[in-house]
Amino acid sequence: MKIAVRYYTRSGNTKKLAEAIAEAVSVNAKDVSIVLEEKADILFLGCSYYAFDVDQAVKEFIIRNKDNIGKIVCFGTSAMMKSMKKPVTKVTKTINIAVADEDFHCRGQFGKIHKGRPNEEDLARAAEFAKSIVE
């Protein structure tokens, strides 16, 4: 089973989760500017909310790489909102890519709010989540 990890980040919060997830499943975490060169059966896709939506770069990554994506497993950080599945599914439903029911989400530091998040505990939970998906 081929696994890939891609993420979009502005302040590094989601990158931390991506690296914990990637280490747990023994691949490298790369940002969404890096195309999928081969088909990933499972793509762990990390992103965050900015003004109630994911960044355009995440949407473009999904469309550009659609032929190399088996199933997407979402993960992400945000200050108030929760799962990233809704904005991701809005893109995938137009091109018939499956999004896993399971996802991982935690708080991410936003200015003075949620300082230090994701923290060590969040990263450990993210790693456990990733392992539970691939085993």
Please count the residues of this chain forming the interface with ligand FMN, following the rule CB under 6 A. 19
| Distance (Å, whole) CA 70 – CA 90 | 17
Of the two residues 48 and 92, which places its CB atom closer to ligand FMN in the complex? 48
48 binds ligand FMN (CB under 6 A): yes
Helix (H) or strand (E) holding 88: helix 85-92
Residue 13, exposed/middle/buried by CB under 10 A (0-12, 13-18, 19+)?
buried
Please name which of 80, 57, 82 lies closest in space to residue 6, comparing C-alpha atoms.
57
Contact call for residues 84 and 111 (beta carbons, < 8 A): no
Per-residue string for binding with ligand FMN, 75-94, x by CB under 6 A?
Answer: --xxxxx-------------
Contact call for residues 14 and 76 (beta carbons, < 8 A): yes
Q: Which stretch binds ligand FMN (CB under 6 A): 3-11, 32-40, 63-71, 89-97?
A: 3-11
Collapsing DSSP to helix, strand or coil, 128 comes out as: helix
Q: Could you tell me the smallest distance in angstroms from the CB atom of residue 51 to ligand FMN?
A: 5
134 binds ligand FMN (CB under 6 A): no
Which residue has its beta carbon closest to ligand FMN? 108
Q: Which stretch binds ligand FMN (CB under 6 A): 48-56, 83-91, 93-101, 120-128?
A: 48-56
Q: Which of 1, 26, 37, 52 touches ligand FMN by CB under 6 A?
A: 52
